[in-house]
């Protein structure tokens, strides 16, 4: 951190990358349901059950909210991102129990994403303890 009240560089990087990823996922999900993307996206979108679609929208909305709060250095970002990790982990665990997993689910990618998210959460927690997040 450069000086009093400045935003750490990693906050910029994390919030912009993860926030943009969440926003892009929302756009792609919406566009695939509106037939604005190619046939391969449409076939995947057609195979997503309404409950799964609602879960994905909810997860991406929570992730986007947490990243906006994190960029604004708000303490609530930690809780929102923790909720995102919890819901995503429950959803991933549920998908691993299915005989036929949905085409958008990958166990290795989910594990890697979980480890990355836990690292981000640890960084957020550290910023909270140092009173950078208010």
List, for residues 86-133, the tens digit of each pLDDT value: 999 998 888 888 777 776 777 888 889 999 999 999 999 999 999 999
Residue 71 has pLDDT above 60, yes or no: yes
Model pTM? 0.85
State residue 37's pLDDT score: 73
The count of domains in the chain is: 1
Q: Is residue 4 part of a domain?
A: no
**Residue-wise pLDDT tens digits, 42-62:** 777 777 888 888 999 999 999
Mean pLDDT of 33-37: 72
Q: Is residue 3 part of a domain?
A: no
Structural domain that includes position 50: 9-129
User: Rounded distance, CA 3 to CA 51, Å?
Assistant: 46
Q: Is residue 43 part of a domain?
A: yes
Q: Is residue 116 part of a domain?
A: yes
Q: Is residue 1 part of a domain?
A: no
User: Rounded distance, CA 69 to CA 50, Å?
Assistant: 28
Selection from 23, 27, 121, 5 nearest residue 70 by Cα: 121
Residue whose structure tokens are 């957020």: 124
């Amino acid at each position: 951190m450069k000086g009093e009240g400045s935003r750490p560089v990693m906050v910029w990087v994390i919030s912009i990358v993860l926030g943009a990823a969440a926003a892009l996922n929302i756009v792609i999900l919406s566009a695939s349901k509106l037939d604005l993307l190619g046939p391969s996206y449409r076939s995947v979108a057609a195979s997503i059950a309404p409950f799964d679609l609602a879960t994905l929208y909810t997860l991406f909305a929570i992730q986007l909210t947490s990243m906006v709060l994190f960029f604004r250095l708000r303490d609530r970002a930690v809780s929102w991102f923790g909720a995102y990790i919890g819901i995503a982990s429950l959803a991933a665990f549920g998908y691993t129990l299915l005989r036929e997993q949905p085409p958008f689910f990958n166990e290795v990618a989910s594990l890697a994403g979980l480890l990355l998210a836990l690292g981000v959460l640890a960084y957020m927690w550290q910023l909270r303890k140092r009173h950078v997040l208010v």
